[in-house]
């Protein structure tokens, strides 16, 4: 079985098989469900997720200030 890159970075665990006999409509319904779930989780944890991403990416201070500092640069 081929190893696929996962957004989570996980590369081991239980295989998750997706049946190939589903209709395109059923597949799209699952995609919409996952999108809704992602949006609900993100909206609930918005501030915490933003802080986590800043920490992981090494961004410190006020993001708005950092963006306005970029506007001051001459290219």
Q: 55 is in which domain, residue-wise?
A: 24-71
Number of domains observed in the structure of the chain: 1
Decide: pTM greater than 0.85: no
47 lies in some domain = yes
9 lies in some domain = no
Mapped to the 3 state alphabet, what secondary structure does 13-45 carry? CCCCCCCCCCCHHHHHHHHHHHHHHHHHHHHHC
Give tens-digit pLDDT for 4-43. Answer: 677 778 888 887 788 899 999 999 999 999 999 999 998 9
Contacts of 50 (CB under 8 A, 6+ apart): 63
52 lies in some domain = yes
Buried b (16+ CB within 10 A) or exposed e, 2-41: eeeeeeeeeeeeeeeeeeeeeeeeeeeeeeeeeeeeeeee
51 lies in some domain = yes
Give tens-digit pLDDT for 39-54. Answer: 999 899 999 988 898 8
């Amino acid at each position: 079985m081929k190893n696929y890159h996962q957004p989570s970075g996980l590369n081991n665990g239980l295989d998750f098989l997706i049946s190939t006999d589903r209709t395109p409509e059923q597949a799209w319904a699952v995609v919409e469900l996952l999108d809704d779930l992602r949006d609900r989780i993100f909206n609930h944890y918005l501030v915490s997720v933003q802080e986590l991403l800043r920490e992981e990416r090494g961004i410190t201070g006020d993001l708005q200030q950092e963006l306005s500092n970029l506007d001051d640069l001459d290219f």
